[in-house]
Structure 1
Amino acid sequence: MMALPLQGVRVLELTDGFGDTAGRFLADLGAAVVRVELPGGSASRTAQPLRDGVSIPFALRNANKRGIVLDLDADDDRERLRLLAQRSDILLESFPPGFLATRGVGTADLCRVHPALVAVSITGFGQNGPYRDWAAAEQVLYALSGVLSRSGEPGEAPLLPPNGLIDESVGVHTAWSALLAYYDRLHTGHGQLVDISAFEVIVHGFDPGFGVQGSAAAGRSEDFPRGRPDAANFYPVYRCGDGQVRICLLAKRQWQAMYEWLGRPEEFADPKYDTIPARFAASERLNPLIEQLFSTYTRDDLVAEGAARGIPIGGLNTVAEVLTTEHFDASGTFVDAEIAPGLSARVPSGYAKINGERAGLRSRAPQLGEHNDQVLRSAGADTRDPISAPQREPGARPFEGLRVLDMGVVVFGAELGRQFADNGADVIKIENSQFPDGLRQSKRGAALAASVAWGHRNRRSLGINLRSPEGIRIFKLLVEEADIVLANFKPGTLASMGLSYDELAAINPRIIVSESSAFGSVGPWNKRLGYGPLVRAACGVSALWRYSDASAGLCDGSTVYPDHIAGQVTATTILATLIHRLQSGRGAAIEVAQADTAIVQLGNQLVAEHLAPGSISAPGNSDPYSAPSGVYPCAGDDEWCVVTVRDDADWVALCGVLRRPDLVDDPRFATDELRIAHRAEADEVLAQWLLLHTPTEATDTLQAAGIPTGAMIRLPDLLTNPHLTARGAYIELEHELLPAPLPTAKQVAHFGALPDWPLQQAPLAGAQTREICEEVLGLSTVEIDTLVHDGVLQPPADDPALSPVSSTV
């Protein structure tokens, strides 16, 4: 077994719901995670879907952990918790605010016992603010975060995206935040409290309305204040001989290839159809032509023909088909493993590969109290040797002193590099003027794309032609003093340039090289183009993101998922490797496939389908495991509210709000199972009441009764949301080329000791070329001028070496 980067890091986990996925990710990366449950076990042990009495979510999210039971109402067990905290590095807890503190074992209490402890609280809405005590559920967070308002078909109810994506996304950001604070502790000796609100994570990190969005920014709901954006034809889906395929015609050359394949129809000969808006406007005439052409092909034939012609095409896979896809077999995305005693299944292994090996599932989730004797016997003083790291005073940004060479592009690349730039690293964006980053090409007539301002802030830019031998030589000189190289090209691209991990590690053994792509470097799909809509279609996300299995259309056209989350997964894996490098002195090769991110996050449905074939389908807005639940119209024009009645207690509370005590014992509604069996009647009871109230009124009233409820929020309303305002969620980002400041995240997690992100404006392409070559490489003015004249270095057009006077010297 390979040496995982977090081996030796100890994590104490007291979560039930939000946060358990964070512990699983840290455990995948090698941390020793001890899960603490209260007597009787966590509620998540019965979370649906269940198969053979086993909760699939619990089994997946708690693999690779050890489990114990402590009664926190007993003095002896509280003392045992304190002893465990003293020998832990990171604490994860998701109890309601105040639950642990009233028992004398709150995060602040445990940090006083162990000042080096990083204590992370993960709740629906955080430790303060007007929503602090609200009940959170995935559906509620989709509504409140602005995601729901962009999902669905015009004229229809907004549509909830698939379940599971939010829990996993919150877990990834929690793992990142915990390691960021732990990395800081290694350099300062001080732990800290970290407050994570799942609401803010989804607002800022899932598919942010005010953040990097790339080409999928079309259809943002501030442009469609009522109704859902008509986004289906941005990435249209067509029927073919054995199913459906999706195409992504973004570049002019891709459309021209499609035009040739169609036989050059005269009605589309006008050059205006080289643009996406013109094709979108003509979709009613264009789509039938393409569907007729595709009708005689199979999905595989269309994908192959598209690849030959340079047209991005991907098959639409159902959840069942994903489980038997040859590529995912070859890539190691799935593993057949025991997930509970006597129960084995085909499960997603894990997010990332390190040095070619998967950091994933190694052992099943623990039975209740399974490791009490083992763990509690060893509780006591920490006898490990401390990790040696350069020391600095608390309050600095954690990555100060690190240098990152960033070749990443578009949404994924921007998000990944930004994690390091915002936290103090010197991130040098490598740019070639002949092949500009796709974000720089999406200006829509403005001097600078908003996505560039959001995504490239706090960086420096080096213009260099890496297609020249001299450019490669310059890059390798930079590698000598760098810490991290980031790239998300097609697999094999770095190696073809002479920049593989092995070649770069020979120059600098401490270098960490991260390569990401759509489907990874291993398997028959490894060369497929990496557009997010094709990844979603291939991984089963799109098939579940529609109103029903019978729906012809897909409703994921206006999202950028999984780009942002895959970038966060990659950043977390790199950070774990940085921690390991403090001990080993060596870097590593990291690989993250966006498809693997989506499949891990859809794991509940995939495993449930494997264990009971045919059981998983697109649920639409109805939660198959609770009723009443869903998206309901409220008073007003296109106003909606999400409500989830989780259990009998919620039903009793709802009957109280509705002033219908007679319904509590109604034989149709007396249990969860009966309410699901009589879903239509249960929904009608709630729907009639909601029609009399605005979404805000309904949310306030039902949340006061403890029922998970969320008004559907549109993106502009996030900026004035009272909870986000109280927690300082937004700040203004200025850029001299923008007409007005942009709202942007001030920070996502709330750290006790880390500063907020700086807001240095994004550079123009190549803006710091001369500065970097002088300061980092020590090149003289004459050397730089020569490299500029030769086209190796590419500073901005106003560089002195490009002036007419300079060119005649």
Structure 2
Amino acid sequence: MDLPLAGVRVLDLADGRCESTGRYLADLGAEVLRIEPPGGAASRRVGPFTEDGTSLSFAVHAINKRAAVVDLTTAAGRELLGALAATADILLHTARPDQQAALGLDPEGLLAAHPGLVVVSITDFGLTGPYRDWTGSSDVHVAIGGLLSRSGLPGLPPLLPPAFLADECAAAQAAWATLVAYANRLDTGRGDAVDFSLLEAVAQVLDPGYGISGSARAGATVRDLPRGRPDARHLYPIFPAADGWVRICLLAARQWRGMFRWLGEPAQFAEPKYDNIGVRFAAAGELYPLIGKLFAERTMETIVAESIGFGVPAAALLDAAATVAGEHVRARGTFVPVEVAPGVTVPVADGLVEIDGVRAGRRFGPPPLGECDPAVLVTTAAASRPGPERAGDLIGAAGAPRHPFAGLRVLDLGVIVVGAELGRLFADHGAEVIKVENRAFPDGSRQNRSGGQMSESFAWGHRNKSSLGLNLRDPRGQAIFLRLAASADVVLSNFKPGAMESLGLGYDELARVNPGIIVADSSAFGSTGPWSRRLGYGPLVRATAGLSELWRYPDLPDGFCDAITIYPDHVAARVSAVAVLALLLRRRRTGRGGTVSAAQIETIFYQMGAGLAEEYLRPGSVRAEGNDRRGDAPRGLFACAGDDEWCVVDVNAGGDGDTTFGRLADVVGEPRWRDDPRFATAAGRDAHRAEINAAVGRWTATHTPAQAARHLQEHGVPAGQMLRVHELPADPQLAARRLLVEQDQPQLPPPLLTLGGEAHYRGVADPLTGPAPLVAEHTRELAERLLGLTPAEVDALVAAGVLEAPSPALPVP
């Protein structure tokens, strides 16, 4: 297999944060060298652990990497790092801003010595702004990033989502930012300093308040939700079955009609008005009890089997162990055994995507400490430099930041969230992205309670695109698509597996007219296996993967709280985008196209890697945590002064809980804790967490969230205030870093705030923020420019139902 990043050399110094970034690049073929200090990376001492003390988290993230020890606290070590950097293309690190210069990792110094190197600095809050020197954690980021305020049930405290989500979502975004900068370097010869903020990544990827939302929201955004947790359970309802729980998604009118038949066609719901999603939601109090009665005496397996026959998307809420052992996962070979310690083998997700029909996954297991001699690597790497695309060999004159995908043409058949986001990521950086759509089979994300075809949600997900109205079910429409594909670079879709092939537009047909074409598809459960044809939406994928069972109040049997989120759609789009860009890079050296196939459920499995490994070794160990994280104290959610005001405190986030706890003791007025032997270790504090949490809670109750977070952070204690979505624009850090910028959308009142870039670059321009298109808005212009059709020919095709286009503008009198 010709892995697309073969020959790309990466120095990976990410420790404890975004370690999946390096692994994803390694899975795609990059030569990734994990550089650790003497004694090993701090993440080798982070649980969960095997019986012999091996970190499962480190092991899972280090697959396909090599390892070397370099002491950056010494001049010799920094000189050795410089020698390695001279042979590398990319350097990833997570050093704190105030420590980078001392370790030889400051971007200025690295780029001065190695002008062709892409240096990716991954920090909690970025290298600029008033929070620059704060310490974060997954929980701190979800609090400040706006997700925490929406997670939970009405009348209850907000609920922290599973801890792995924030960092893993950020890691996918970091991989995208890295390859964007690297692609730009191949064009210009100039390296880059990529300033990547974990907080901004979480705010953009996990469930962005200013990003496209699922079709169940019908264009509504979360910005104007009422205070407290919104009750989103009606969007993707969960019902008890005879042996567990089942979730359904009734979004499209045809799905509702299937449910209507399944219920026995009750007369009170026979009116056509119930085809409207808003009307159904308004009637949930009458409708959902009928569904509950239907399901109550059926098993989960029976309900899911029957749902397929009625065309109703449904999924059982499984736990992680049940899913990993399931028939679909086994049929797809989703997991492979990996030896993480001598004699200890666990199942690990075998990569995130399939490239050219083959998994880009495990080639070798995690490396032992100091596996490679870095001095030898310098010599061998320098000798194997293949030519002018190595770092430092194509250094050109400094120029203005640019859009690296200018000139790239993308045919975008993507729908709903993951489809929208994938195309947008390329459009933001200059690609011509043509959304191919048809009113007869509308994109669910155009569904709008106001009745129009433009909403803030749609505008966010489809900015910078044009729209071509084309009927792909007509042979003439298929022929037009093939003509377009002949001059395109990428085709994107997320239809049900087999849909493109049934239209005569599968990869084989597209490659016949364009051997360099890159075709990407994504689906809920993958293109093969017994579940491949199931109707799949993110909520069903979360349920099936075991995530819904983890995202709930642990003391409430029906306390499921993931209905509000769009995960994994936004992150799955980044996963596919990285793979598509990697294939574009491969095409530069081979001229050959290829395919990318991604499954949303496998994105979740990949990100749950350490937890799934622990569950395999110790069944029953992975369960909902709620707001009281274990392993140290205090770690969790605390009420502050005011109505429904909260902050997160995580004494363990900085990696030295003992020191941090001493500082916290002084801040909250408990200096005696410093000398209390019960609190001398993390285990001791964990055992006495109730006493500690009560005292911290008394202190936070006298401060606003912002006051509490600021005061704690000023004393070196990781903390973060809970922000609501409407509060994000005014946050001083997010404002200073321009998380939100303005988008021009003629159909919506200005200013429309939209997400800024995925990182701060030197050589890559800020993302474009042009409008999203109306349906078929650009059909005439595209048909004439790209297909050479005359206006009369376009009119004839419109009249025949092959093309869709707005009526020609009337002449001005």
Same fold (TM over 0.5): yes
1:511 alignment partner, one of 517, 522, 545: 517
Superposed, which structure 2 residues align to 1:241-256 within 5 Å?
241-256=242-257
Give yes or no for the alignment of 1:44 onto 2:43: yes
- The C-alpha deviation readout for 1:303-362, integer Å capped at 9, x for no partner, is 111111011111111122122111111122211121233321011111100011111122
Contact 1:549 1:617 survives alignment (8 Å): no
Cα distance in 1 for partners of 2:148, 2:221 equals: 12
Superposed, which structure 2 residues align to 1:334-733 within 5 Å?
334-372=335-373, 374-378=376-380, 380=382, 383-387=385-389, 395-446=401-452, 448-548=454-554, 550-646=556-652, 647-733=657-743
Q: In the alignment, which residue of structure 1 is the partner of 2:168?
A: 168
Q: In the alignment, which residue of structure 2 is the partner of 1:125?
A: 125
Instruction: Tell me which amino acid in the other structure corresponds to 2:346.
Output: A
Give yes or no for the alignment of 1:109 onto 2:119: no
Distance verdict in 2 for CA 1:37–1:391, change over 3 Å: closer
- Report how far residue 17 of structure 1 moved: 1.9
Distance verdict in 2 for CA 1:791–1:98, change over 3 Å: same
Cα distance in 2 for partners of 1:433, 1:105 equals: 53
Contact 2:278 2:449 survives alignment (8 Å): no
Cα distance in 2 for partners of 1:163, 1:594 equals: 19
- Report how far residue 720 of structure 1 moved: 0.6
Contact 2:209 2:223 survives alignment (8 Å): no
Q: In the alignment, which residue of structure 1 is the partner of 2:767?
A: 757
- The C-alpha deviation readout for 1:507-541, integer Å capped at 9, x for no partner, is 11100000111101111100111211101101111
Contact 1:216 1:560 survives alignment (8 Å): no
Secondary structure of the corresponding residue to residue 803 of structure 2: coil
- Report how far residue 267 of structure 1 moved: 3.9
Contact 1:80 1:379 survives alignment (8 Å): no
Contact 1:149 1:221 survives alignment (8 Å): no
After TM superposition, the structure 1 stretch with the greater mean CA deviation from structure 2, 776-785 or 86-95, is 776-785
- Report how far residue 786 of structure 1 moved: 2.2
Give yes or no for the alignment of 1:793 onto 2:795: no
Q: In the alignment, which residue of structure 2 is the partner of 1:69?
A: 69
Q: In the alignment, which residue of structure 2 is the partner of 1:228?
A: 229
Q: In the alignment, which residue of structure 1 is the partner of 2:786?
A: 776
- TM-score w.r.t. the length of structure 1 is 0.96
- Report how far residue 695 of structure 1 moved: 0.7
Q: In the alignment, which residue of structure 2 is the partner of 1:180?
A: 180
Cα distance in 2 for partners of 1:668, 1:210 equals: 45
Give yes or no for the alignment of 1:28 onto 2:38: no
Secondary structure of the corresponding residue to residue 162 of structure 1: coil
- The C-alpha deviation readout for 1:559-584, integer Å capped at 9, x for no partner, is 11111110111000000010011111
- Report how far residue 260 of structure 1 moved: 2.5
Cα distance in 2 for partners of 1:493, 1:453 equals: 26
Distance verdict in 2 for CA 1:369–1:549, change over 3 Å: farther
Cα distance in 1 for partners of 2:282, 2:781 equals: 46
Cα distance in 2 for partners of 1:148, 1:216 equals: 20
- Report how far residue 272 of structure 1 moved: 4.3
Secondary structure of the corresponding residue to residue 532 of structure 2: coil
Instruction: Tell me which amino acid in the other structure corresponds to 2:531.
Output: W
Q: In the alignment, which residue of structure 2 is the partner of 1:806?
A: none
Contact 1:258 1:311 survives alignment (8 Å): yes
- The C-alpha deviation readout for 1:255-301, integer Å capped at 9, x for no partner, is 23222222233443454444334433443433332222112222122
- Report how far residue 588 of structure 1 moved: 0.5
Secondary structure of the corresponding residue to residue 719 of structure 1: helix
Cα distance in 2 for partners of 1:589, 1:725 equals: 39
Which structure 2 residue ranges, 5 or more long, are not aligned?
Answer: none
Secondary structure of the corresponding residue to residue 25 of structure 2: helix
Cα distance in 2 for partners of 1:769, 1:275 equals: 29
After TM superposition, the structure 1 stretch with the greater mean CA deviation from structure 2, 501-510 or 281-290, is 281-290
Cα distance in 1 for partners of 2:710, 2:556 equals: 36
Secondary structure of the corresponding residue to residue 338 of structure 1: strand
Give yes or no for the alignment of 1:746 onto 2:752: no
Which structure 1 residue ranges, 5 or more long, are not aligned?
Answer: 804-809
- Report how far residue 778 of structure 1 moved: 1.7
2:745 alignment partner, one of 735, 745, 766: 735
Instruction: Tell me which amino acid in the other structure corresponds to 2:631.
Output: Y
After TM superposition, the structure 1 stretch with the greater mean CA deviation from structure 2, 50-59 or 415-424, is 50-59
- TM-score w.r.t. the length of structure 2 is 0.95
Contact 2:98 2:133 survives alignment (8 Å): no
After TM superposition, the structure 1 stretch with the greater mean CA deviation from structure 2, 147-156 or 754-763, is 754-763
Cα distance in 2 for partners of 1:383, 1:278 equals: 64
Contact 1:188 1:394 survives alignment (8 Å): no
Q: In the alignment, which residue of structure 1 is the partner of 2:16?
A: 17
Distance verdict in 2 for CA 1:177–1:632, change over 3 Å: same
Cα distance in 2 for partners of 1:774, 1:335 equals: 51
Q: Percent identity?
A: 49
- Report how far residue 103 of structure 1 moved: 4.4
Cα distance in 1 for partners of 2:124, 2:94 equals: 9
Cα distance in 2 for partners of 1:273, 1:788 equals: 32
Contact 1:182 1:191 survives alignment (8 Å): yes
Distance verdict in 2 for CA 1:104–1:620, change over 3 Å: closer
Q: In the alignment, which residue of structure 2 is the partner of 1:213?
A: 213
Instruction: Tell me which amino acid in the other structure corresponds to 1:720.
Output: A
Cα distance in 2 for partners of 1:464, 1:278 equals: 30
- Report how far residue 731 of structure 1 moved: 1.2
Q: In the alignment, which residue of structure 2 is the partner of 1:329?
A: 330
Instruction: Tell me which amino acid in the other structure corresponds to 2:350.
Output: S
Secondary structure of the corresponding residue to residue 182 of structure 1: helix
Cα distance in 1 for partners of 2:619, 2:379 equals: 43
Distance verdict in 2 for CA 1:217–1:390, change over 3 Å: farther
Cα distance in 1 for partners of 2:433, 2:629 equals: 44
Instruction: Tell me which amino acid in the other structure corresponds to 1:49.
Output: P
Cα distance in 1 for partners of 2:171, 2:10 equals: 14
Distance verdict in 2 for CA 1:64–1:394, change over 3 Å: farther
- Report how far residue 217 of structure 1 moved: 4.0
Cα distance in 2 for partners of 1:171, 1:453 equals: 26
Contact 1:549 1:618 survives alignment (8 Å): no
Superposed, which structure 2 residues align to 1:185-204 within 5 Å?
185-204=185-204
Cα distance in 2 for partners of 1:288, 1:678 equals: 44
- The C-alpha deviation readout for 1:398-453, integer Å capped at 9, x for no partner, is 01111111111111111000011111111111111211211222253446221221
Distance verdict in 2 for CA 1:620–1:560, change over 3 Å: same
Root mean square deviation, CA, Å: 2.0
Distance verdict in 2 for CA 1:82–1:521, change over 3 Å: same
Cα distance in 1 for partners of 2:675, 2:368 equals: 35
- Report how far residue 382 of structure 1 moved: 6.2
Cα distance in 2 for partners of 1:371, 1:264 equals: 68
Cα distance in 1 for partners of 2:157, 2:105 equals: 45
Superposed, which structure 2 residues align to 1:213-292 within 5 Å?
213-217=213-217, 221-292=222-293
Distance verdict in 2 for CA 1:361–1:216, change over 3 Å: farther
